[in-house]
Amino acid sequence: MKRTDKQTGNKYTWALLLLLASCSGGNSDKPAEEEQGIATALPEQTSTVTVMELKRRSFDHELVSNGKVEAKQYADLSFRVTSEPVAQVYVKNGDRVSKGQKIAELALFTLDNQLQQAQTSLAQAELEMQDVLIGQGYAPDRMQDVPASIRELAETRSGYAQSQANYELARYEREQATLTAPFDGVVANLTGKRFNKPDASQPFCRVIGTGNMEVAFTVLESELPLINEGDRVEVTPYAATLTPCKGRIAEINPLVDENGMVKVKATVEGASRLFDGMNVRVSVKRSVPNQLVIPKTAVVLRSGKQVVFTLKDNKAMWNYVQTGLENMTEYTVTGDGMEEGAQIIVTGNVNLAHEAPVVVREGK
């Protein structure tokens, strides 16, 4: 019985030794495998880049702002007399009109009658004035011989001056009973209706001149040195079906508002495609000579700072830079390593490090 227990104990001892040996052998191989894995995951790679030679040239500066189209010429038309109904409306909103073309007309019976009465009263007053002059010893058919003081007295006594003023007013109101276009343009905001009296609180319609349009926009106070009267602008309506229009800056308001903004206006060519009040994007363009210019793709951020990589001995060299003017695709640049003739890395630079080896891809 004792022998059997001893044999069983020996078996457990040998099993424990084998287990320990097995564990020890597995741990001895693990560091080698980990080192091999790290070496495979972090190989030394060479990035492929494209470069350009930095040169001084004219830079097409572009300043972008939002603006609103304004008619350079427009007129709000109203009837002087609002006691008579509208008899005819000859146009509708959006119609093109020529200078002098009829737009609307009031009922004319009352106005024609008043004009006739005023004309009759004037004729009667004229006869009475002649009687006064004859009483003063002057011939009515030789008015040029009548002294001014005597003639003025005769006009007052006869009521001729008052009758003439009434006639002129009646004739003017009769003329104003017909609205006509003051210039070539487009009808807008026509609110009056036939058979209704005009609304005295608002214009009957507006005529907008189509010959010229202006675009009003604002720029920052700091951007004022970058624009001048006569600079080229490109106006792009937000309506996708309309093409951009060309123009030039016409005026710069010499006043900075409480928000640090300055109002600018530009005249626009091809303005027939634009409507008064239309929202547009304005791009101001001017040429700035003798600038170092790089593509925007050449600039990357490192720790919140602008960095440009240059090529030297097939390595990427890290340079802190400051960008200046910009347009849609380019910057002007100054800073370390930004000298004429430097090889600027423009693509493949996103993950580059200082002195990282690179291979230049030929072509643009």
Count of helix runs (H) and strand runs (E) in the chain: 4, 20
Tokens (6 digits) for 7: 């044999």
| CATH architecture of the domain covering 76-104+178-210 | Beta Barrel (2.40)
| CA 359 – CA 334 distance, rounded (Å) | 26
Return the top range by mean pLDDT from 5-14, 61-70, 290-299. Answer: 290-299
Residue-range domain boundaries for the chain: 48-58+290-360, 64-71+211-289, 76-104+178-210, 109-176
Task: Identify which of 217, 212, 243 has the alpha carbon closest to the alpha carbon of residue 231.
Answer: 217
At 68 the pLDDT is 94
Mean pLDDT score across all residues of the chain: 84
Instruction: Look at the domain 64-71+211-289 and name its fold.
Output: Elongation Factor Tu (Ef-tu); domain 3 (2.40.30)
The answer to whether residues 210 and 186 touch, using CB atoms and an 8 Å cutoff, is yes
How high is the pLDDT of residue 363?
57
Global confidence as pTM: 0.57
Measured CA to CA in angstroms, residue 354 lies from 43, 48, 309, 314, 358 at distances of 17, 15, 8, 12, 11
User: What's the pLDDT score for residue 272?
Assistant: 61
3-class SS string, 295-311 = EHHHEEEECCEEEEEEE
Instruction: Tell which residue, 361, 363, 355, has the closest CA to residue 313.
Output: 355
**pLDDT above 60: residue 23:** no
Per-residue pLDDT tens over the stretch 234-284 = 898 887 667 888 899 999 999 999 999 999 999 987 666 788 888 999 998
**What tens digit of pLDDT does each residue of 201-248 get?**
999 999 998 777 899 999 999 888 888 898 889 898 887 667 888 899
Chain centroid to Cα 93, Å, comes to: 25
* Between 9 and 268, the higher pLDDT residue: 268
Listing DSSP states for 323-341 in one string gives EEEE-SSEEEEEETT--TT
In which band, very low, low, confident or very high, does the pLDDT at 67 lie, cut at 50, 70 and 90? very high
Assess whether pLDDT exceeds 80 at residue 350.
yes
Name residues whose C-beta falls within 8 Å of residue 26's C-beta, 6 or more positions apart in sequence. Answer: none
Architecture of domain 48-58+290-360: Beta Barrel (2.40)
Residue of higher predicted confidence among 235 and 19 = 235
Torsion of Cα atoms, 86 then 92 then 93 then 98, to 10°: -100
Query: What confidence tier does 19 reach under pLDDT thresholds 50, 70, 90?
Result: very low
